[in-house]
Amino acid sequence: MRSLKLFLTTLLALTLLCAGPAKPEVIGTQNQVFCNQLVFQSASVASLQTILAGQVGKTIFVCGWHVTATTTGGTFQLSQGTGTNCVTTNTNLTPAYSVSSSAPATDHISAASISIPAGNNLCITSSNTNLQIGIWIGQY
């Protein structure tokens, strides 16, 4: 009986030693998505407008932007959605950023930090009509 207890105790100890720490669970893709396109336009109206139309089966990835004002400043905000100018299912992707001619709003990294579901449009809400907008994207 004593040797059975010793055997089971030893077996348990070896099992715990061999198990090692748990590995983290990976959720989602492990591949970075790089942006290989630049979309740009001038804000022609102070409202919500499409800057890049979505395509069926293709996800839009955003790596960054550079927005400046040609005269007085304003704000801009990126969003995504469906329908004309994203009005059907408009969802904000960023907060509203301030921009002026002397202080452009710039954020750009080499790998995508924002993804938009396949078929949805990339839109921008601007508070002024004098913004020059450039957005680095990948669409795959």
| Cα–Cα distance, 9 to 32 (Å, whole number) | 47
pLDDT at 53: 94
> Is residue 38 one of the residues assigned to a domain?
yes
Stretch 59-63: mean pLDDT, rounded? 94
pLDDT band at 131, cuts 50/70/90?
confident
Predicted confidence (pLDDT) per residue in 64-117, tens digit:
999 988 877 788 999 999 999 999 999 999 999 988 877 788 888 778 889 999
Tokens describing residue 140: 């795959």
Note the helical H segments in 49-135: none
pLDDT at 3: 66
Would you state the torsion angle of the CA atoms of residues 28, 30, 35, 40, taken in this order, to the nearest 10 degrees? 20
Residue 15's alpha-carbon distances to 1, 8, 9, 92, in angstroms, are 21, 10, 10, 50
> Is residue 16 one of the residues assigned to a domain?
no
User: What 3-state DSSP class applies to 11?
Assistant: helix
The CATH number linked to 82 is 2.60.120
Stretch 39-52: mean pLDDT, rounded? 84
> Is residue 13 one of the residues assigned to a domain?
no
> Is residue 14 one of the residues assigned to a domain?
no
Report whether pLDDT(61) > 80. yes
> Is residue 122 one of the residues assigned to a domain?
yes
Single pTM value for the model: 0.74
> Is residue 67 one of the residues assigned to a domain?
yes
Query: Is 123 in contact with 79 (CB distance < 8 Å)?
Result: yes
Note the helical H segments in the chain: 2-19
Question: Which is higher by pLDDT, 1 or 76?
Answer: 76
Taking alpha carbons only, the member of 39, 64, 50, 44 closest to residue 128 is 44
| Cα–Cα distance, 64 to 38 (Å, whole number) | 10
Report whether pLDDT(60) > 60. yes
> Is residue 103 one of the residues assigned to a domain?
yes
Give the structural domain span for 89: 26-139
User: What 3-state DSSP class applies to 16?
Assistant: helix
pLDDT at 42: 81
Predicted confidence (pLDDT) per residue in 7-44, tens digit:
656 655 655 555 555 444 444 555 788 889 999 888 76
Structurally, the chain folds into a number of domains equal to 1
pLDDT at 68: 87
> Is residue 19 one of the residues assigned to a domain?
no
